[in-house]
Chains A and B, each alone.
Chain A
Amino acid sequence: MIDPVLLLIYVFVFPGFLFLFVYALTCEFLDRRIAARMQHRVGPPFFQPFADVVKMMGKEVIDPDGVDRRIFDAAPVLALAAVMTSFLYIPVVGASPLAFQGDLVLVLYLLAIPTILLFVLGWLSRNIFSAVGGVRAVTQMFIYEVPFFLALLMPALAAGTWSISAIVVWQQHNWWCMFLQPIGFVVALICLQAKLERTPFDIPEAETEIVAGPWTELTGRRLALMHLARDVSLVCGSALIAALFLGGPMVPWTISPAWLGGIVGFILFLVKTLVVLLILSSIKVATGRIRIDQLNAIGWKYITSAALVQVAIVLVANFWWVSA
């Protein structure tokens, strides 16, 4: 049984909420900076995302005429809470102390909540841009969510466990899933980009078409919290892919003393999430926005098919493994 004080520190300080905030905003800075350098711009200074949050927190909150204020206040908080909770089950310095069989499924569902809340916000905004954006968000969700789930559940199928931490331990003794399931890895990356609504999948908030989509009527702390929720989603998504496909914070051999192993694991976590972030940023910079109908065609024709091929390969390999 774990010490309750340590558990509290784990949840609230490190690697829990406090660390998560700092790291999420740092990731936003890195994302913006990398994109800016690739586009021959200077980019923001390090403290810009932090300053933005502080600034937006202090700004006036404006209620559009006739919206339900309680839901408008609650939705960003709920979105942030959902993604922050999901981070607790992702291994950072070692196996998560909260890990249980099935936490992978919980994490996947928690990560889906912000999109649904965005739809709710868009629908309740009583604004045509928000409504169109909300409908697009939920349409997009139906397209990427299936291959995303399929791709992320494949490491679980291969490892024979539904716990993220246990999958990481399994990869310690086997190869990384990135090499075992390359198709799944690519599908997961593409779908993560779509889930985070980044170019080329920033369809729900296409600036030049529908202003900011569901975000249009968000102001002040609601906007700040929603931004935070998105940054945290970025970290959670990257960390999830790092854990499931890149071996997470573990090395194949044991390091003693334990604290040194913890530090090595933490550095590995940082490096791997940043590598995923770099890939996501590069995709963002190298593409334009596609249309929702084009995404529908590409998503169901190619991405889902690729994910299904990966499922078939894993099932056959599993069968062959067991019988061999």
Chain B
Amino acid sequence: MAEVVIPIGPQHPALKEPVNFRVIADGEKIIRLELNLSYTHRGIEKGAESRDFIRVLPLLERVCGICSHSHATAFAKGIEEIMQVKIPPRAQYIRTIIAELERMHSHLLWLGVAAHEIGFNTLFMWTWRDREAVQDTLEEMSGNRVHYNMNEVGGVRCDLSPSQVQTALARLPLLEERIHKYVAMLEEEETMLLRFRGIGNMTRHEALAYGAVGPTARASGVACDARHEDPYLVYAEVPWEVVTDTNGDVYGRTCVRIGELRESAKIVRYCLEHLPEGDIRVPAPKAAPTGEILSRYEAPRGELVHFIRTNGTDKAERLDIRTPTLANWTSVAMCLTGQNLADIPVIVAAIDPCLSCTSRITVLDNNDNTSGMITFDELRKRSRARWQEQERS
């Protein structure tokens, strides 16, 4: 077959969210990939800048349907630092418990999706069933399955009762047993090995050069983890390890995520057993003093960064969210070149893309009434023009 252009998305059965790839393939080999992101701009950053801090947290949970706690915690953590509010230890433990449960449900979900991408639906059904145990725990603790809304500026919204702690602890052995089973499957399941090994290779050097984050980078041997490098909440006290792998392929990314499942279960168990007594929140001021902060948070998909600038009012002057998926896109485009057409879904899925969280900018031009996106070069040209204008005046 000659060179063909295969459009994937914005609507495609493999994609749960809209993104567009133009895959230029020669038969079954991929020659080049053109990415087209940002189909779902929702104006969340702007929305966050026009609400006070109490109302921002529920909004930020809606950035992502899977790592909802991540966004709220990243913001709350940052704003508390600006306000110089120290939240009580019990609140920190509860935040950590929810964060690690969230990581577990996210990784179990990912494992299922990755299996589904290679047509291994049995594993998909199994992991999603096991994920229910995590979701049930989260629901018992917070009342919600997806948007837990546990965070408040100054602490957490609701306390854990001793009976909730007991039921949560009772569910952990089942999860640990299932995680053990998946580790065994990963070593033995022949079709999984065939489809995961040696696919989407990325060396340590490339991972650093393309700025990969999270499990994607850790699978290439880069031990970057915000929980370790810049400990927040209680990660400095809890015994846990950064999971890395040296395979650098989809198989390595799977190993890292399953290893993290095990670590997360360990952290949750430790936190539940060592939950300190005390208050769950402290009163926080309504307004924040003028300041800037870069709040780093290790979301299930990688490092999540919230940049917050405050100006002494009860609203943020600027909020900029850099999701881990955005950081990982370039590495995907690099990984895919030279691969097989059939491997696109699994390589794309291997970074656990969360597309709607990634869309940030849409350009509205009042002069000619157009809206849409601009290229990086165009952006540079415009900013240079603006700069030259300022220089002249």
Contact = CB atoms under 8 A, between A and B. Distances in A.
A290 B194 contact: yes
A309 to B, nearest CB: 22
A293 B13 CA distance: 23
A114 B80 CA distance: 66
A52 interface: no
A41 B125 contact: yes
B119 interface: yes
Interface in A175-227: 199-200, 202-203, 206-209, 211
Contacts of B118: 208, 288-289
Contact of A291 (B7, B190, B195): B195
Nearest to B25: A132
B116 A292 contact: no
B174 interface: no
Interface residues of A, number: 26
Given A208-B119, A209-B14, A292 B342 contact: yes
B119 A135 contact: no
A288 B119 contact: yes
Contacts of B6: 128, 132
B14 A288 contact: no
Contacts of A99: none
Interface string B116-131: 1111111101100100
A40 interface: yes
B343 interface: yes
A289 B14 contact: no
B345 A209 contact: yes
Given A39-B126, A132-B6, A289-B118, A211 B342 contact: no
B122 A200 contact: no
Interface in A279-300: 285-294
A208 B28 contact: no
Bin the interface of chain B by size: 20 to 34
Which one of B122, B189, B192, B340 has the highest number of Cβ atoms from chain A below 10 Å of its Cβ? B122
A199 B192 CA distance: 12
A38 interface: yes
Contacts of B115: 288
Contact of B342 (A39, A40, A135, A203): A203
A206 B342 contact: yes
A38 B119 contact: no
B341 A209 contact: yes
A288 B120 contact: yes
A253 to B, nearest CB: 42
Nearest to A205: B119
A196 to B, nearest CB: 14
A132 B123 CA distance: 27
Interface string A162-183: 0000000000000000000000
Contact of A288 (B1, B129, B195, B343): B195
A202 B342 CA distance: 12
Given A211-B12, A288-B191, A293 B28 contact: yes
A287 to B, nearest CB: 4
Contacts of B343: 291
A128 B4 contact: yes
Contact of B122 (A128, A132, A211, A285): A285
Closest 7 CB pairs of A and B: A288-B120, A289-B119, A39-B125, A208-B14, A288-B191, A288-B118, A208-B345
Given A208-B119, A292-B28, 11 more contacts: A132-B6, A199-B120, A206-B342, A208-B118, A208-B345, A209-B341, A211-B12, A286-B122, A288-B119, A289-B195, A290-B194
Interface of B: 1, 4, 6-7, 12-14, 28, 115-123, 125-126, 129, 189-192, 194-195, 340-345
9 contacts: A41-B125, A199-B121, A208-B13, A208-B345, A286-B122, A288-B119, A288-B195, A289-B195, A291-B343
